[in-house]
Amino acid sequence: MGNLNNGLFGAFNGRVGNLVGYTLHGKNVIRMIGHTTKSPTLPKLANYQKMTVVNEFLVRMQDFIKLGFQHEVIGTDRNTYNEALSYNKKHALTGEYPNISIDYPKAMLSKGSLRPADQPGISKPDSRLGIEFKWEMPEKMLTGHRNDRAMLLIYFPESKTSYSSLSGARRHEGTDTLYIDGNLYGAQMEAYITFISPGGEEISDSVYAGSIAKEIEKPEPEKEILKKTENTENDRNQAVKPHQARHKAPASPGYCAQITQPLNLFQHSIPKNLSGPPS
- Least confident interval from 1-5, 27-31, 132-136, 191-195: 1-5
Is pLDDT larger for residue 173 or for residue 270?
173
Report whether the peptide linkage leading into residue 116 is cis, meaning its omega lies within 30 degrees of zero. Answer: no
Residue in 182, 179, 178 with CA at minimum distance from that of residue 193: 178
Cβ atoms within 10 A of the Cβ of 150, count? 24
pLDDT band at 226 (very low <50, low <70, confident <90, very high): low
Half-sphere exposure of 222 toward its Cβ, with a 13 Å CA cutoff?
A: 0
Instruction: For residues 50 and 100, give the distance between their C-alpha atoms in angstroms, rounded to a whole number.
Output: 7
pLDDT of residue 278: 52
Q: Mean pLDDT, to the nearest integer, of 187-211?
A: 97
205 within 8 A of 108, measured Cβ to Cβ: yes
93-94 and 27-32 strand pairing: unpaired
pLDDT of residue 1: 52
Digit-coded pLDDT (tens) for 257-266: 444 445 454 4
DSSP 8-state symbol, 25: T
Tell whether the model's pLDDT for residue 42 goes beyond 90.
yes
The mean pLDDT of the chain is 83
Is pLDDT larger for residue 224 or for residue 260?
224
pLDDT of residue 5: 67
Instruction: For residues 154 and 211, give the distance between their C-alpha atoms in angstroms, rounded to a whole number.
Output: 9
Residue in 40, 150, 59 with CA at minimum distance from that of residue 97: 40
Angle between helices 42-58 and 80-91 (to 10 degrees): 120
pLDDT of residue 143: 77
Q: Mean pLDDT, to the nearest integer, of 82-103?
A: 98
- Least confident interval from 181-185, 195-199, 263-267: 263-267
Instruction: For residues 108 and 268, give the distance between their C-alpha atoms in angstroms, rounded to a whole number.
Output: 108
Residue 155's SS3 state is strand
Query: Which residue intervals of the chain bear CATH 2.60.40.10?
Result: 118-212
pLDDT of residue 4: 62
Residue in 93, 91, 110, 15 with CA at minimum distance from that of residue 48: 93
Cβ atoms within 10 A of the Cβ of 225, count? 11
Q: What percent of the chain lies above the pLDDT cut of 70?
A: 74
pTM of the model: 0.70
Burial class (CB in 10 A: 0-12, 13-18, 19+), 209: buried
pLDDT of residue 196: 98
pLDDT of residue 221: 62
Is pLDDT larger for residue 234 or for residue 182?
182
* Alpha carbon separation from 30 to 17, 36, 38, 90, 199 (Å, rounded): 12, 20, 25, 27, 38
Tell whether the model's pLDDT for residue 256 goes beyond 60.
no
* Alpha carbon separation from 122 to 51, 65, 131 (Å, rounded): 29, 21, 7
pLDDT of residue 233: 61
CATH of the structural domain 118-212, one choice from 1.10.260.40, 3.20.20.140, 3.40.50.2300, 2.60.40.10: 2.60.40.10
Tell whether the model's pLDDT for residue 234 goes beyond 90.
no
Tell whether the model's pLDDT for residue 246 goes beyond 70.
no
pLDDT band at 53 (very low <50, low <70, confident <90, very high): very high
Q: Mean pLDDT, to the nearest integer, of 164-187?
A: 96
pLDDT of residue 270: 47
Instruction: For residues 102 and 85, give the distance between their C-alpha atoms in angstroms, rounded to a whole number.
Output: 12
Tell whether the model's pLDDT for residue 279 goes beyond 60.
no
Phi, psi values for residue 59, rounded to 5° = -65, -25
User: CA angle 211-214-219, nearest 5°?
Assistant: 145
pLDDT of residue 8: 55
pLDDT of residue 3: 65
